[in-house]
Structure 1
Amino acid sequence: MAIIDLHHRALTVAGAVVARVRSTDLARPTPCAGWDLAALLGHMVGQNHGFAEAVEAGSAPRSAYAPRPAGWPASADRLTSAFATAPPDRVVLLVEISEELRFPVPVVAGFHLLDTVVHTWDVATALGEPFRPDDELVAATLAQARLVPAGAARVRPGAAFAPVLPAAGDDWEQALALLGRDPHGRLAA
């Protein structure tokens, strides 16, 4: 399956989990250090809008990725439309990843797929629910997770991912551990 289609599936799955969040859940801790559920959801919506603007225009300022307190459905729809209508040969500047490199649209979809699937797990974990994506999404997430650089960048304030954790489990547990998530769902915040 094409990465754009897998990405759309990831957004759909995420939307179903996000829809279960109630206002009384927003102060819950998440696996993301320093973020409660409200902050995590704001980040997810902001990332959707930032990536959408970058795909639509070829780039977007850092402010486009700013957390937004609400609006998952509209942000997911906008991003789905951006990927569906982007010329396949478009290259995109993602300032949150590199201020110099441009990436082809399918690579950008892979980056965002990783963020979406892992943050869906974060949301479900905060809600006390199990979450495991389907095998195709697991495979795509693991492939992307293997590309994320390890090292000093993982311990800086505001790092996108925590340091790699040891994992001896299945592909899903390995993907989570590669991104610094405890596959057993222990909360960081």
Structure 2
Amino acid sequence: MNDKTETETGTRISTLLRTAAGRAVPVVRGIRDDQLGAPTPCAAYDVHALADHLFQVVVNFQALAAKRDADFGAAPEHLTGEWRERFAQETARLVAAWDAPGAEEGTSGAMGLPARTVGSMVLGDLTVHAWDLARATGLPYEPDAALVGVLLAEFGALAPTARRMGVFGDPVAVAPDAAPFDVLLALTGRDPGWTPRP
């Protein structure tokens, strides 16, 4: 018998990741080969580099869920063969890794951060980079509203450290009545109105 309440289950990282993956995987599957060199809202990455980075994140955070070390220094090259389907498979493994007993307990990663904070980081990457890739390739993308609320709370606390580490850019100004996801994008240094140049 599952002794977790519906509310507790709904806030588990694995549950949120499953929701994020359901929105991100169709975007990755929809990327055409002729779009891999296109620019993205992340100025340092084209579509190929960003998809490769996201693939690396999805794989490495499986290890972090199990309290193992992850190497982000290695240059990734995952976009070979049937990489879109392998991304979907690895994303399912990511969800399973964070659903394992103890995944959200204790600390994880070289920085010794709380495990749930680490889980929120990969949740944010899966959500925000899916938007990056969708915006760069003209694909539809709409994040889950409840998930955005969780990320706003988590990233609000993480933002100063993330900027010092160069993970987030400087915040972008948005209107007081901006949509929550636009606020989240701006918090990470993205322009919510970004579109590819002709």
TM-score tier by shorter-chain length is: 0.7 to 0.9
**1:81 shift after superposition:** 1.4
The equivalent residue for 1:154 is 163
Q: Which amino acid aligns with 1:184?
A: G
2:145 is equivalent to residue 145 of structure 1: no
2:69 is equivalent to residue 60 of structure 1: yes
Q: Is the 8 A contact 1:51 1:79 kept in 2?
A: yes
**1:7 shift after superposition:** 1.6
Q: TM-score, normalised by structure 2?
A: 0.80
Residue 160 of structure 1 aligns to a residue whose secondary structure is: coil
- CA distance, structure 1, for counterparts of residue 45 and residue 93 of structure 2: 25
- Which 5+ residue runs of structure 1 have no aligned equivalent? none
2:73 is equivalent to residue 75 of structure 1: no
**1:19 shift after superposition:** 1.0
2:127 is equivalent to residue 112 of structure 1: no
**1:66 shift after superposition:** 5.0
- CA distance, structure 2, for counterparts of residue 73 and residue 89 of structure 1: 22
**1:167 shift after superposition:** 1.1
Identity of aligned residues (%): 28
Match of 1:31 among 41, 47, 51: 41
Superposition CA RMSD, Å: 2.4
- Which 5+ residue runs of structure 2 have no aligned equivalent? 1-9
Number of residues of Structure 1 aligned to a counterpart in Structure 2? 179
The equivalent residue for 1:167 is 174
2:99 is equivalent to residue 84 of structure 1: yes
Flag as ranges the 4+ runs of structure 1 deviating above 3 A: 63-66, 153-156
**1:77 shift after superposition:** 1.7
- CA distance, structure 1, for counterparts of residue 148 and residue 191 of structure 2: 16
**1:88 shift after superposition:** 4.9
The equivalent residue for 2:146 is 136
